[in-house]
Amino acid sequence: MRQGFTLTELLVTIAIIMVLSAILLPSFQGAIGTSDKRAAQMHAQSVRLALNTMLASNPQLSAGRVGTVDCAVARDVGAGGVMDATSGGNGWDAAPTGDRCTATPQGRGYRVTVQYGSESVSVP
């Protein structure tokens, strides 16, 4: 009675696993890229919503008066504009790791651009 696997059986099994992983690896990388893009879009939308809500609830402020905002770090917004406080509230969380985020005045509101890796996402 034979016990265990032969070397040929073992090598064939390893070769099959390697072929299957080579087929699946690009789809996993695509999923990671898609999740990075979605995280950047969600961050840009939350920043735009916070800034536009601040402008709508404080008529004395304008996008031009507040100016360009670095939105890569967590900020709060209020009647005085954008603050560096991190107490939560009406602001936004920090951008996903390694991302750059800029909110530029556009008319009455803001256009938010998040750069992640070599790509970027803009939310008008």
The domain spans of the chain are 8-123
Give the three-state DSSP class for 113.
strand
In whole angstroms, how far apart are CA 29 and each of 12, 22, 25, 33, 50? 26, 12, 6, 6, 32
Amino acid (one-letter) located at 45: Q
Ranges of residues in the chain whose predicted pLDDT is under 70: 1, 85-90, 97-98
Quick one: 39 exposed, middle or buried, by C-beta within 10 A (0-12, 13-18, 19+)? middle
Please report the pLDDT score of residue 12 as a whole number: 96
Please report the pLDDT score of residue 89 as a whole number: 61
For the segment 50-83, what is each residue's pLDDT rounded down to a tens digit? 888 888 888 888 888 888 888 888 788 877 778 7
Please report the pLDDT score of residue 11 as a whole number: 96
Please report the pLDDT score of residue 99 as a whole number: 79
